[in-house]
């Protein structure tokens, strides 16, 4: 058995019931197989065994009081995965599905993603099974404060810098940062995604969605194509999906779908700027359900989620490009086949690990340009890195400066992934190229440090 396969098997045995984590390790390790022969120094230093094991995983109890005065208890997690190239960096996710396996998969992915950004950031991830949906602002505040009461002792601007993800937006970051500041009596860049008034970076809210579209544009550029006039399927209606749609409109493409966990809308006429503004208000201000979109716009059809269907009909519409931007494993084998059958030739993943391994192999065997999440959605963490730099400098760059740095970073991520795929004899195999490029930098650093 090859070394990388041995590692996969060991991870499965040693970390039972962590399916998403196994999936992420399998995906990365399969790509890394050709590096084993090329880098005997990595094997000698035990890098393959060490890279799958987090530096530490912190689990804690988060007790908080709801509006009725009842005590609720949530699980809290922070997995500090690898800080070889910089402080641990990666988000907090608040969603009822959060468990240790999900946080470990996200943290593991983050190590390679952050390495690809060219910025000095290690990888980590955290979160809670708390569900902000249906909670009052006061409840969310009390929960965030309770969460930070434990987390503050493990993080710091040079140690570990969290940010937002599913269920953690500007409101939550404000509560978390305000309480950290109170506990530590210091105003530093300990969290990113902050409000502009208290150290946030311009373009951070837009960065992941914009970056995924810039990445798609780079993939198309290899084939001498652009996004102009292309029809796009987008899933999700949160932070990433909203700004992916905005940048698609800027570049002349037509987004036709959007979804939330209850269902999706298909708007053949296209989601234009006015309709996008409606989605942003609905989701960010009124915190409502996407079904309202179809009540307001007669050009749209709403389809509720049918858990017995075995596929997501959102991916079964004619289009050219697709931006999965909701959550993990939202494209299975059937969905991938539907995308291929409907003429989609380019996928740029805004979400983390939205495609199952079976789905990925359908894309690869059909020659689809497949931009995996850790390359395509790295724009968010990249601008988080720029926010950290601005906080250290106590300075702010303009919107244009940040956007142009983001664009440059997405181009260089694409270049690194593409050129590595060429160097390893598989031009256009983005999973291979991105995983190897991200890994190599971290592995070299680990070798330099010795056995620590
Ligand atoms: P948001 O919470 O802003 O939006 C998430 C969207 O996905 C919502 O529309 C939500 O619907 C939907 N969704 C979430 N969970 C599920 C589920 N289990 N089933 C179906 N739909 C679901 O999160 P983000 O936009 O920030 O994150 C989306 C994805 O992008 C995640 O995979 C995240 O890890 C990834 N990502 C985010 C980055 C960022 O900077 N924010 C950076 C890089 C990656 P509903 O409203 O009903 O919950
Ligand atoms: O998955 C990700 O890269 C993010 N959600 C952003 C991480 C960050 O620290 O900004």
Ligand 2 centroid – CA 114 distance (Å): 9
Residues 222 and 290 both lie in one domain: yes
Domain boundary among 347, 376, 405: 376
Best of 165, 192, 207, 243 for a ligand 2 pocket test (most atoms within 8 Å of beta carbon) = 165
Q: What is the pLDDT of residue 45?
A: 98
Secondary structure (H, E, C), 257-292: EEEECCEEEEECCCCCHHHHHHHHHHHHHCCCCCHH
In a domain, 441, yes or no: no
Percent of the chain with pLDDT over 70: 100
Pairwise pLDDT comparison (164 vs 387), residue with the higher score:
387
User: Are 316 and 274 part of one and the same domain?
Assistant: yes
Give the residue from 324, 357, 376 where a domain finishes: 376
**Same domain for 171 and 76?**
yes
Q: Tell me the pLDDT tens digit for each residue of 93-112.
A: 999 999 999 999 999 999 99
Quote the pLDDT of residue 259.
Answer: 98
Per-residue pLDDT at 221: 98
**pLDDT tens figures, 182-208:** 999 999 999 999 999 999 999 999 999
Residues 250 and 344 reside in one and the same domain: yes
**Last residue in a domain, options 346, 376, 406:** 376
- The span from the CA of 445 to the CA of 252, in Å, is 42
CA distance 321 to 342: 10
Per-residue model confidence as pLDDT tens digits over 31-84: 999 999 999 999 999 999 999 999 999 999 999 999 999 999 999 999 999 999
Angle between helices 399-423 and 100-116 (to 10 degrees): 90
The residues lining ligand 2, judged by C-beta closer than 6 Å to any ligand atom, are 89-91, 110, 113, 163, 165, 192, 352, 380-381, 384
Q: What is the CATH number of the domain that holds 168?
A: 3.40.50.10860
Protein residue whose Cα sits closest to atom 3 of ligand 2: 381
Ligand showing the shortest atom-to-Cα distance for residue 385:
2
| 94 and 243 fall within a common domain | no
What percent of the chain clears pLDDT 90, i.e. is strictly above it? 100
Is there a domain that residue 103 lies in? Answer: yes
In the sheet where 231-234 sits, what is the strand order? Answer: 254-255, 231-234, 321-323, 346-348, 369-371
Instruction: Please give the residue range of the domain that contains residue 89.
Output: 54-187
Residue nearest to atom 44 of ligand 1 (CA): 351
When divided into structural domains, the chain yields a total of: 2
Confidence label for 392 from pLDDT (cuts 50, 70 and 90): very high
**Best residue among 129, 239, 306 to mutate for probing ligand 1, ranked by most atoms within 8 Å of CB:** 239
Which CATH number is 252's domain given?
3.40.50.720
pLDDT-derived band at 279 (thresholds 50, 70, 90) equals very high
- Clarify whether residues 158 and 302 are in a common domain: no
In a domain, 323, yes or no: yes
419 close to 405: Cβ distance less than 8 angstroms: no
Q: For residue 120, what pLDDT is reported?
A: 98
Query: Annotated catalytic residue: which of 89, 125, 254, 275?
Result: 125
Question: Is there a single domain that holds both residue 157 and residue 251?
Answer: no
Q: Does the annotation count 104 as an active-site position?
A: no
Mean pLDDT of 81-88: 98
pLDDT tens digits along 126-138 = 999 999 999 999 9
346 and 268 within one domain: yes
Verify that 240 and 293 share a domain, yes or no. yes
For ligand 1, what atom is nearest to the CA of residue 168? Answer: 2
How does the average pLDDT of the chain come out, rounded? Answer: 98
**Nearest C-alpha to atom 6 of ligand 2 is from which residue?**
381
């Amino acid at each position: 058995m090859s070394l990388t396969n041995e590692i996969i098997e060991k991870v499965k045995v040693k970390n039972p019931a962590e399916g998403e984590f196994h999936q992420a390790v399998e995906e990365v390790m399969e790509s890394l197989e050709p590096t084993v022969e090329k880098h005997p120094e990595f094997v000698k230093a035990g890098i393959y065994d060490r890279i799958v094991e987090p530096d530490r995983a912190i689990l804690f109890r988060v007790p908080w009081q709801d509006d009725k005065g009842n005590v609720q208890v949530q699980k809290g997690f922070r997995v500090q995965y690898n800080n070889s190239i910089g402080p641990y960096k990666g988000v907090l996710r608040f969603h009822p599905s959060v468990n240790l396996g999900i946080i470990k998969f996200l943290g593991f992915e983050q190590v390679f993603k952050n390495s690809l950004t060219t910025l000095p950031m290690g990888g980590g991830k955290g979160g809670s099974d708390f569900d902000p949906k249906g909670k009052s602002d006061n409840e969310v505040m009390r929960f965030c404060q309770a969460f930070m009461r434990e987390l503050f002792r493990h993080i710091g601007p040079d140690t570990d810098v969290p940010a937002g993800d599913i269920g953690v937006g500007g409101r939550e970051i404000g509560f978390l940062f305000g309480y950290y500041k109170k506990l530590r009596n210091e105003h530093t860049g300990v969290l990113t995604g902050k409000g502009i008034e208290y150290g946030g970076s311009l373009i951070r809210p837009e960065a992941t969605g914009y970056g995924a579209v810039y990445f798609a544009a780079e993939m198309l550029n290899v084939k001498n194509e652009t996004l102009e006039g292309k029809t796009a399927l987008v899933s999700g209606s949160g932070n990433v999906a909203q700004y992916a749609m905005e940048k698609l409109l800027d570049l002349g493409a037509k987004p036709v779908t959007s979804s939330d966990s209850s269902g999706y809308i298909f708007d053949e006429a296209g989601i234009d700027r006015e309709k996008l503004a409606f989605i942003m208000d609905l989701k960010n201000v009124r915190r409502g359900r996407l079904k309202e979109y179809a009540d307001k716009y007669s050009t749209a059809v709403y389809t509720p989620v049918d858990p017995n269907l075995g596929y997501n009909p959102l991916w079964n519409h004619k289009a050219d490009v697709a931006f999965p931007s909701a959550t993990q494993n939202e494209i299975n084998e059937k969905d991938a086949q539907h995308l291929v059958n409907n003429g989609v030739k380019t996928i740029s993943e805004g979400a983390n690990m939205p495609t199952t391994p079976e789905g990925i192999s359908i894309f690869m065997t059909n020659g689809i340009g497949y931009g995996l999440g850790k390359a395509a959605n790295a724009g968010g963490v990249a601008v988080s890195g720029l926010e950290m730099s601005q906080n250290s400098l106590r300075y702010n760059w303009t919107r244009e400066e940040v956007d142009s740095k983001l664009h440059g970073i997405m181009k260089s991520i694409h270049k690194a992934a593409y050129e590595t795929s060429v160097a390893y004899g598989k031009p256009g195999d983005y999973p291979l190229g991105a995983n190897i490029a991200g890994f190599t930098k971290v592995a070299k650093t680990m070798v330099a440090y010795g056995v620590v």
